[in-house]
Structure 1
């Protein structure tokens, strides 16, 4: 299985109407990825890719990008791949949205919004204590955290105040509503982790046994700029009838 996908930037949320129903969709702009090279590590094949904003690198990294004929980018990652799958591409090739054009379900990973150090009411949804009747300075406190002399300690994992958010989360089996190859946009049904402008990692759904489309050189084999998933295709067919 190809352990690969695409990075994208979350642009925001909107809604679309399908068969009289309002669907919540998240819009992601795919970040172009450029092949830096392929190397062997034991039985595995690893591909290094660069993506993100264009930067001014230091001299060692400038030489690394120059050897791959890739414009310097902010991020470099390495992924395990099936070498035959990327046989059509060479060093410096762009990996674009067409990789996911035939995928109907995605697993989307991202870093959730960070809320800093928050109390139990906001972090875990605890009820507040009384506002009056003798209560002072404990309105949003969590109350008792333990038992008696036995066990004489607080169990690990007890819900208390602490760091809220800013953790990696993966949402599985999210349906793809539409893929816009020309604009590099993917419309995903439902919410995805992270704030607007945050990076998300999109891979074909593992549980749905989805697979990537064969990678072709950019501008090769792209007939339509608006590739719709089966859900959207059925909607268009019903409108025509």
Structure 2
């Protein structure tokens, strides 16, 4: 375990050094990451949940996300639309399943048709050329990300499951109304049910975001990122993943100070080739199994 951790730390130093965390474009000079920079996100596919263990043997539940054929399709600038953003496409699809107007949009960018297209706001210094491929090494083990996707659909559900109501008394005096939501209105005045009343109805299938999930591991060979905790959506769902925006326990928005700077605007392909296949986040701290005196 000690030799494995030492090799990982060597890979982190070699693969994510400040000199190699820039995307070198033939048309532009390498950009420098700052705390005001806003990088693009990616569109990943949720592959399920598993677990990893840190150096102390503590089990950490993680969600596995795979980045499939992410490419920049369009660059949106202040001059054309009034804001700066990148249009990212994920997962190639057959041309015969794409309408001609949409197919022309992909042909103009010189990329294969994609199953899912998402737009990410970026700062002007984080703009990438059209056709640039985004891989799992766009993220660094130890940083934090926000994951957005529609939640699992539950269909038509009652008030107890949908809103967490306690239900009626489970006694002999209650007759066939144990899971009833109870009264929904008043008497003759006003004689109606107010809008927004919590009642039975369709549950799930709504856009949700889980914020500040820690990236525990990155697998460059399979383009996998392992994030700590759960992510909304069913397996194989498209998930929008981007740098965290909320403050975290470490006192920084995106990552602890020992992880910064991030690959900017994205990982250098030559630096990715020199990295080990898997990079694991450092957990640090004291042995949790040692009793304190």
Aligned counterparts of 1:163 and 1:16: Cα–Cα separation in 2: 35
Q: Give 1:40's match in structure 2, choosing from 49, 53, 77.
A: 77
Aligned counterparts of 1:166 and 1:111: Cα–Cα separation in 2: 5
TM-score (norm 2): 0.69
Aligned counterparts of 2:171 and 2:94: Cα–Cα separation in 1: 53
Question: For residues 1-241 of structure 1, what are the structure 2 equivalents within 5 Å?
Answer: 1-2=37-38, 4-18=40-54, 19-42=56-79, 43-56=82-95, 57-86=98-127, 89-101=128-140, 104-129=143-168, 130=170, 133=173, 135-136=175-176, 138-148=177-187, 152-208=191-247, 209-210=253-254, 212-215=262-265, 219-222=269-272, 223-231=275-283, 234=284
Does the aligned pair in 2 maintain the 1:178–1:186 contact within 8 Å? yes
Aligned counterparts of 2:236 and 2:159: Cα–Cα separation in 1: 28
Residue 132 of structure 1, CA deviation: 5.2
Which 5+ residue runs of structure 2 have no aligned equivalent?
A: 1-36, 248-252, 256-261, 286-293
Task: Please state whether the residue corresponding to 1:176 is helix, strand or coil.
Answer: strand
Structure 1 residues 169 and 143, CA gap change in structure 2 (3 angstroms): same
Bigger fraction of residues in strand: 1
Tell which deviates more after alignment, 222-231 or 113-122: 222-231
Residue 133 of structure 1, CA deviation: 4.4
Task: Please state whether the residue corresponding to 1:79 is helix, strand or coil.
Answer: strand
Name the Cα RMSD after superposition: 2.6
Match of 1:239 in 2: none
Could you report, residue by residue, the CA deviation over 1:121-162 in whole angstroms, capped at 9, with x for unpaired residues? 2212334444754614x3432111234556655444332101
TM-score (norm 1): 0.82
Residue 217 of structure 1, CA deviation: 7.1
User: Across the two proteins, how many residue pairs are aligned to each other?
Assistant: 230
